[in-house]
Amino acid sequence: MDWQLIFNAISDPAMILDKEHRILAANESTLTLTGMSSSELIGRYCYEVCHGLPIPPADCPLQTLLRLQEKQVCAKEIEISEKTYMITVTPLLSDDGEIEKILHISRDITSRKQAEAARIRLQTQLLEARKMETIITLAGGVAHDFNNALTSVIGNIELIKMDTTDHDVEEYATAVEESAYRMADLTRQLLAYARGGKYQEREIELQSFLEKAIDNSDYLIDENIELKKNLHCRESLIVVDSGQLQMVLDSIVKNAVEAIEGQGRVEILCEKRQLREDFACKLSSIVDEDYACITVKDNGCGMDRDTLEKIFEPFYTTKFAGRGLGMAAVYGIVKNHGGYIVVDSKPGTGTSVELYLPLKTQKISKNPEATAKATILLVEDEEVLQSVEKRLLEKLGYSVLLAGNGRQALQLAEKYEKTIDIALVDIYLPDINGDILSANLMKLCPALKIILCSATVPGWLTEKALAGGAQGFIKKPFALTELQEVLLKTINMD
């Protein structure tokens, strides 16, 4: 059989070379790839034709084979014109066993490499998601127990301040209270990272909020840094916890300022926009809706790829003294508000952080102002919290019925002959979840209004209860004034 027929039957580009890299023969696939005829190729050096170079490239497999004088196949992956090829060189030996010629075959493995890179990327994303879920579970558990303890601490401090006439005692109590609220802020960040953050969700007009928020963040800006704002989001409505969104903005602005050495610029922009295509394509579902895009840009030192991949990990910091959750909390808050965050950065070019928050098209109804006193059914399983919450409610002038679990609450509601105006229900009870208890209480007392409370952020149980008719939610720990405000609004709801 004619060897030329076999040679041309090879589907990959193949050439026969001499030891000086000159082309002695080329198959049909090579002619098609190069767009040259056989006469144009023969006699030329392969590195001129394939690489456009005057000498062989450093990773040339033929050079390696000749240098090592190995009489076996040598293969290497080589990038040529944004494609990846597996170059295989096979020595063709003379009768005395010496290398005489070389069979050079180029296989395009670009698609295979891209598929492999996609598989690795998806695997990495899965591992990161699992790691995030583990940390989220831990953060949520720690914050729940910590907030329950803080509820008792803050509540008892409120009672001490209400009862004491001693100025020194009140001063000491106030100092302890301030420290307790700082701890509450820490757990708020933990819960924000654990997909939390929506504690007091309400509708806001974004432009007005940002103008005030930027003014509130002004203390973060050094004198040698110019702060620019370019806001085009007037009449844009979003539903957020404004306190958490302020924390997000402060955290990102602080990072931007700290990335600038000497003079520099931080710019805050906002506009109505859809998700960037390069980011939306990474999501598992198509996202086709309008977002408010808040962008914070700086012209600081920027970040390399390794740093960029770690910025959402809790406790990760490039600073000498770590500041805790940082961008991890930002990530949690934005995700929990149904938003997305995109960070672009390169060393020496600065950093851009884009926050995408879904726009709201309908206004949220507002509760009327009111004042009232009423009978409250307090459903709380922890004895320490039962005591302090009962006394706080009584200090506010309410009559309090106390139940330590769901069963007791149902028995009280069924037997109590007067009107129960509000049930303050812990969402997680030892015998029955708050959503089921709320539904059963409303069956027994159709006029009863339900306020749910928890040491964690609203989860699916809370959402289920609210959808079933419960009127409100308050997160522990809460201040006396906050509790009173929620109670008054709920009592006077239509």
Domain holding 419: CATH number?
Answer: 3.40.50.2300
Interaxial angle between packed helices 434-444 and 406-415, expressed in degrees from 0 to 180 and rounded to the nearest 10:
10
Do 232 and 301 lie in one domain? The reply is yes
User: Residue 9: its pLDDT value, please?
Assistant: 86
Domain that holds residue 50: 3-108
Q: Is the pLDDT of residue 425 over 60?
A: yes
Given pLDDT bands bounded at 50, 70 and 90, which one contains residue 457? low
At 73-108, the pLDDT tens digits run 888 888 888 889 999 999 998 888 888 899 999 999
Range of weakest confidence among 74-83, 205-214, 218-227:
218-227
Cα(441)–Cα(70) distance, integer angstroms: 85
Q: Which of 193, 213, 247 is the last residue of a domain?
A: 193
Q: Which of 82, 108, 134 is the last residue of a domain?
A: 108
In the chain, what are the helix, strand and coil shares in percent, each to the nearest 5? Answer: 45, 25, 35
User: Residue 106: its pLDDT value, please?
Assistant: 92
Structure tokens at 356: 């995408």
At 318-370, the pLDDT tens digits run 653 334 347 877 888 888 888 889 899 999 889 999 999 998 754 433 333 33
Q: Is residue 370, in this structure, part of any structural domain at all?
A: no
Do 275 and 334 lie in one domain? The reply is yes
Q: Can you say how many angstroms the Cα of residue 218 is from the centroid of all Cα atoms in its chain?
A: 25
Structure tokens at 411: 């028995």
Q: What DSSP element (H or E) covers 183? A: helix 167-193
Do 280 and 178 lie in one domain? The reply is no
Given pLDDT bands bounded at 50, 70 and 90, which one contains residue 281? low
Q: Is the pLDDT of residue 285 over 90?
A: no
Considering 7-11, 79-83, 403-407, the range whose residues carry the highest mean pLDDT is 403-407
Do 331 and 403 lie in one domain? The reply is no
- In the β-sheet with 99-108, what is the strand arrangement from edge to edge? 23-26, 14-17, 99-108, 83-93, 74-80
Cα(379)–Cα(89) distance, integer angstroms: 79
Q: Is residue 364, in this structure, part of any structural domain at all?
A: no
Do 308 and 243 lie in one domain? The reply is yes
Q: Which of 193, 219, 253 is the last residue of a domain?
A: 193
Q: Is the pLDDT of residue 278 over 60?
A: no
- Span 402-415, average pLDDT: 93
Structure tokens at 24: 């002695």
Range of weakest confidence among 82-96, 263-277, 463-477:
463-477
Do 398 and 420 lie in one domain? The reply is yes
Domain total in the chain: 4
